[in-house]
Structure 1
Amino acid sequence: MASYTLDDIRSAADAKYGSTDIALDEKTTVHLLNPLRLPKEKRARLVALQDEMDAEGNEVDQEELLSEAIRLVADHPKKADSLLSAVGGDLAVLAQIFETYGKGTQAGEASASAS
């Protein structure tokens, strides 16, 4: 029978459910946390934001929703603000960030009912 330490399990979780990291400059990297690494309330809000973005016929401010999602999953509020400031409201870049984040978290993404 195999034996593992809690550190082994944590390392495996970090490898499988790691963050999506975006380097802003040499000093600042924003870590967008995997949904499974977020508190339950933030996971629920992220699901709600995704539902709002996907709703047909729903006229929503995509920039606002994407910005909120990035703030929600970023490892630090100031880093999220720095990233959003650097993006400068470019909706295409915001969408690409969120798409990249989504691709990076698909393997570890829980369904809404698993929260």
Structure 2
Amino acid sequence: MASFTLDNIRAAADAKYGSTDIEVDEKTTVHLLNPLRLPKEKREKLMNLQDEMDKEGSDQEQVISDAIRLVADHPKKAGILLDQIGGDLAVLAQLFETYGKGAQVGEASASAS
């Protein structure tokens, strides 16, 4: 029978459900947290923002920016990242797509539970 420590389980969760890390400059790396690592309230807000993205006529720049602020490890770093993007919707969309691909495994597991 296999035996594991809680530290083993935590390490496996970190490896499987880790953050998507975006290096803004040599001093700033923003960690976009996997949805499973967010508190329930933030997960629900993220789902609502994703629903908003699909609505006709929604302000995509605002919705994606709000989602990035929500999942970032620190509000100040999220602000720096968004300032550097400067409202470029193509970059915002690519950033959120990259985040979504990194978080996809966690989201699939979350829906199964």
- The TM tier, using the shorter chain, reads over 0.9
SS at 1:24 equivalent: strand
State how many pairs are aligned.
Answer: 111
Query: 4+ residue runs of structure 1 moved beyond 4 angstroms?
Result: none
In the aligned structure 2, how far is the partner of 1:2 from the partner of 1:26?
A: 42
Q: Identical aligned pairs, as a percentage?
A: 76
1:39-50 aligned at under 5 Å gives the runs 39-50=39-50
1:33-72 aligned at under 5 Å gives the runs 33-55=33-55, 58-72=56-70
User: Structure 1 length normalisation: TM-score?
Assistant: 0.93
Pair 1:101-2:99 in alignment: yes
Structure 2 residues without counterparts, runs of 5 or longer? none
Q: Identify the residue that residue 2 of structure 1 maps to in structure 2.
A: 2
In the aligned structure 2, how far is the partner of 1:83 from the partner of 1:14?
A: 23
In the aligned structure 2, how far is the partner of 1:29 from the partner of 1:23?
A: 4
Structure with larger RCO (C-alpha < 8 A, sep 6+) = 1
Which among 77, 80, 98 is matched to residue 78 of structure 2?
80
Structure 1 residues without counterparts, runs of 5 or longer? none
